[in-house]
Structures are given as structure tokens and as C-alpha cells.
């Protein structure tokens, strides 16, 4: 079964035709805050080979959607109801469903959720220590995100090394970690929203919740102002004035040095926390734009994880292009670079629902 994988995000729409584990052809359409020009998706689809079914990446499945599901009008309406949990990303996903549906109205379509891979988190990892009413009535819990990427990378790593305890570092404009024990996610860094956890390109990652209250009560900032600042003007851009890790690494000024230091400090701490959730780690995986392409970030992360058995070969790491192993000889933990393949994972989910 050939599957058209649709990954509609805040900065682009990626369209890929996937046959088995291989991408036959793909195209990326630029977007601005989840909005693209009229007719551009339709035009892009016209240039791609035919597919038997369509799979859509949907960021948030809430408590209801914990596995891929076939799309119909009722499901789409329920997905709209979840938009408040991830407004920018959910709107983009829904817009992609609508645009592709206009071009391929008769094609079977499946929603594949970024939260689904984390739906089975143990209670201790999924639960916030907040009032019971919040958890019961409003579904306040740690959902986790980037699940399609974590699912693919952890499965690829397990097949590569045979290790049962995998930490996946998805490092892109958004960034998160997961602890995957024998194929099951047992901890992750993102939580109720994609804002929790690591420092990202424009997102702050975890901050003291008391800070948010203080900014509203004492600095006079509105809910919207605080939210937009933490989502769009924090992270690398807040520290160094740029969201591009390549620029941060090239510069030697104090702001860039601090930004890189904060980024790596949080990354190391997060990897150690993920390992602790499994009683150790056998394989560390780097994926995503930064994880795949920044040898410097991989090297710096590994330098602080030697106590866990992580050691990277500096020559192999610096010279790697694409996928590969960057472990130093004799390292107790194997370190891999795996290409992010959310499109392949989407296609896998579609086949699980439709067969074929």
C-alpha cells in the first residue's frame, strides 16, 4: 500500500509518498505560523505520484485518541475540540486534512498522533502533582509529543543494536527526549503542552511555574503576552537573538556561548533523567535537524555523560553525514545518529488501521 504522508507544521507542510519503508517522492511547502498560500498544497499534490491512502500527522490526540484512527467528520470535529492544547500545531494539522481532502475526497485517510506513543506512560511519569479536579475534569497530565519521531528512531535503534533501553534525543526547532524500554515509552520531557522540557529554538522549555504567576501579578503581563513570549521569543532566540543553532555555534560572543551552555546543560540533565527511568541506557539516539547535523552538539552532550558510559569518537562524529554510529570503541553505551522519518511512521500507522 502506497501512503501519502502529510506532515503539516508551523513552518511547512511536508508531503511524502511512502511505499514500505521507502519514500518514493516528497515535497515541502513553506508555511508561516501554520498558514500557507491558497492552492499551494493542491499544486504540490498534483506533482506527486498516486497513493492508495492518506496519513496525517496530528500533534494532539488528548485522552481519547491513543492510536491511529480513520478520519471522518465526527473525528475531525473532536480534533477541533483539542486545538486549545496545541493551538498552532493542531490548526495546521486540521488545515492539512481539509486541503488534502479537497484534492483527494475519496481517499481513505488516517490520523496519526504525536501523543499516542506516550499514551501508555506509567502513572508516576504521566501525572502532575496538582489538584485532583484538574486531572479529572480537564485532563491535566503529561501527554508528550514528537511521538512519531520517537517511535521510529527507537525502533530503528533497537533493530540496529539490540539494546532494550533506548534514549532518543529529537533535537530540532522543537526538542524532546524519550526513554524507551523494550519498545514502550516510559518517560519523556514534553508534558501537557510542547513547551515543557528542553531548551528549543524559540521555546523556553521548563520554567518555574511561579515565574508565570509572578509575571502576571507583578510585571503586569497578560496571559497572551506571557504565552507568546515563552513560545516565540524564548529558547535560543531569547538567549542569543537567533533560533538557528548553526549561527549560535559559529559565533563566539557571550550571548551565543551562554545560549549553547544552557542548551547543552539541559540536554545532558534530560538524558540522565531518561536513563534513570529505565535503570540505565544501552543506546543513545540523536535525531531531528540539530541531532542529525550538529556534530558539535552531539560531542558536547556526550562530554557530560561519560559517567553513564556515553563516549563519542570525535573523528567519526565530525565526519558523519547521514545516519551512522558515532560511539567510541569500547563505549558501554552505543551512540547513533538516525534520520527523522515521521513520514515512514505515519505510513506504518495507516497500514495498521487499513491493512496492507
Phi, psi at residue 71, to the nearest 5°? -85, 135
Q: How many CA atoms lie within 13 A of 242 on its CB side?
A: 14
Contact 339, 170 (CB under 8 A): no
Element (H, E) at 14: strand 12-19
Pairing of strands 184-188, 175-181: antiparallel
The yes-or-no answer on residue 114 being catalytic is yes
**Is the C-alpha dihedral spanning 10, 348, 2, 68 positive or negative?**
negative
Residue 152 Cα distances to 73, 166, 181, 206, 287, angstroms: 29, 12, 14, 25, 10
CA–CA dist 97, 34 (Å, integer): 13
Pairing of strands 22-30, 12-19: antiparallel
19, 52, 72, 114: the active-site residue: 114
DSSP letters, 70-114, are E--HHHHHHHHTTGGGSHHHHHHHHHHHHHHHHH-TTSEEEEEET
Contact 53, 353 (CB under 8 A): no
Provide the annotated active-site residues: 114
Amino acid at each position: 500500500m502506497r501512503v501519502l504522508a502529510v506532515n503539516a507544521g508551523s513552518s511547512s507542510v511536508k508531503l511524502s509518498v511512502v511505499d514500505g519503508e521507502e519514500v518514493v517522492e516528497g515535497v515541502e511547502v513553506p508555511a508561516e505560523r501554520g498558514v500557507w498560500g491558497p492552492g499551494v498544497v493542491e499544486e504540490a499534490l498534483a506533482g506527486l505520484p498516486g497513493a492508495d491512502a492518506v496519513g496525517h500527522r496530528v500533534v494532539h490526540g488528548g485522552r481519547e485518541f491513543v492510536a491511529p484512527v480513520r478520519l471522518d467528520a465526527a473525528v475531525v470535529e473532536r480534533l477541533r475540540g483539542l486545538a486549545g492544547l496545541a493551538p498552532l500545531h493542531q490548526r495546521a494539522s486540521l488545515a492539512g486534512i481539509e486541503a488534502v481532502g479537497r484534492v483527494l475526497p475519496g481517499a481513505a485517510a488516517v490520523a496519526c498522533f504525536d501523543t499516542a506513543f506516550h499514551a501508555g506512560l506509567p502513572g508516576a511519569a504521566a501525572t502532575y502533582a496538582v489538584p485532583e479536579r484538574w486531572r479529572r475534569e480537564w485532563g491535566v497530565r503529561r501527554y508528550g509529543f514528537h511521538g512519531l519521531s520517537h517511535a521510529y528512531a527507537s525502533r530503528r535503534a533497537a533493530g540496529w543494536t539490540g539494546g532494550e533501553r533506548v534514549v532518543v534525543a529529537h533535537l530540532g526547532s522543537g526538542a524532546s527526549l524519550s526513554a524507551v524500554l523494550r519498545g514502550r515509552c516510559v518517560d519523556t520531557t514534553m508534558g501537557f503542552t510542547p513547551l515543557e522540557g528542553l531548551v528549543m529554538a524559540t521555546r523556553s522549555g521548563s520554567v518555574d511555574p511561579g515565574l508565570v504567576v509572578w509575571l502576571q501579578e507583578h510585571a503586569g503581563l497578560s496571559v497572551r503576552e506571557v504565552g507568546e513570549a515563552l513560545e516565540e521569543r524564548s529558547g535560543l532566540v531569547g538567549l542569543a537573538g537567533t533560533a538557528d543553532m548553526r549561527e549560535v555555534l559559529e559565533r563566539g560572543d557571550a550571548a551565543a556561548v551562554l545560549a549553547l551552555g544552557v542548551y547543552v546543560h539541559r540536554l545532558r540533565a534530560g538524558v540522565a533523567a531518561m536513563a534513570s527511568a529505565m535503570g540505565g541506557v544501552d543506546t543513545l539516539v540523536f535525531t531531528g535537524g540539530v541531532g542529525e547535523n550538529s556534530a558539535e552538539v552531539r560531542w558536547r552532550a556526550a562530554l557530560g555523560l561519560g559517567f553513564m558510559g556515553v563516549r563519542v569518537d570525535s573523528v567519526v562524529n565530525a565526519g558523519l553525514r547521514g545516519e551512522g554510529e558515532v560511539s567510541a570503541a569500547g563505549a558501554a553505551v552505543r551512540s547513533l545518529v538516525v534520520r527523522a522519518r515521521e513520514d515512514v511512521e505515519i505510513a506504518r500507522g495507516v497500514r495498521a488501521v487499513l491493512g496492507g
